[in-house]
Amino acid sequence: MEGLCRQVGEQRRAPEAVAASSQRVSLLGPLNRAIVVLSAIALVVAACVLTYSVVLRYFTPEPTDWQDELSVFLLIGVTFLSAAWVHSQRGHIGIEAVASLLSPRANRIRLFVVDMLSAVFCAFFAWKSWTLLHEAWVDGYVSATAWAPPLWIPYSAMSLGMSLLTLQIVLQAFLPQNEPPRSHVA
C-alpha cells in the first residue's frame, strides 16, 4: 500500500485511519461480491432461457410466453443489484476530461459533490421503489401477460439494489481514497 500511496502522490495515512476505512469498506464488500456472483448466474440463466425460446420457436409452433418476462425480471435484478459493486469499483461512466484539469484537492471535492448529488438521486429512487414494492405486495399486482408473475419480484430487486447503491455511494464519499478512481479510457 505504501508504494501505491507514493505512486499516486498521496500522503501516508495513520494506521488507525486505514483500519477504520477498511472496516467501513468491508461492510458492503462481501455482500457486493456475493451479489455479483448471483448476478453473473442470473445473466447466464437469462441467456439460456432466451436461447431455449429461440430454438423452441424455430422447431415447434409452441408459444413461449414466459421466457421474455423471466429474462426481463432477471436482467432487472442484475442491473439494480450489481450497481453498488460497480460503483465500488468506480465503474460507472465518468468524464475524465474535467478530472485531468483539476488539482488533486479540487478533484476530491468534485468527487464528493458528485457522490452527494448521486446519493440524493439514488435515495429518492430507492424510496419510490420501496413504495412501488409495498403497493405491489399489498394490492397483489401482477404483470399484464398470460404468465402474470407478481410485480413485487422486480420491484424488490429495484428497491434493494438502489438502497445498496445509495449506501455504497455514501460510504465511498466519506472514506479516504486510497487510490484514484479507475480510468476506463484505453
Q: What is the pLDDT of residues 7-58, one digit of tens each?
A: 333 333 443 443 444 444 557 889 999 999 999 999 999 999 999 999 998 8
In terms of C-beta density within 10 A (0-12 exposed, 13-18 middle, 19 or more buried), how is residue 94 classed? middle
Q: Is the pTM of this model over 0.95?
A: no
Question: What local confidence, expressed as pLDDT, does residue 112 receive?
Answer: 92
Unique residue bearing C-alpha cell 487510490: 179
Q: What is the pLDDT of residue 176?
A: 65
168 within 8 A of 138, measured Cβ to Cβ: no
Please enumerate in sequence order all residues whose Cβ is within 8 A of that of 60, keeping only pairs 6 or more positions apart, or say none.
Answer: none
The C-alpha torsion from 105 through 121 and 169 to 13, rounded to 10°, is 20
Residue 65: its pLDDT value, please?
Answer: 83
**Residue at 9: amino acid letter:** G
pLDDT digits (tens, 9 = 90+) for 116-150: 999 999 999 999 999 999 999 999 999 998 899 99
Strand partners, 150: 142
Q: How far is CA 175 from CA 17, 44, 61, 74, 115, in A?
A: 9, 34, 57, 32, 12
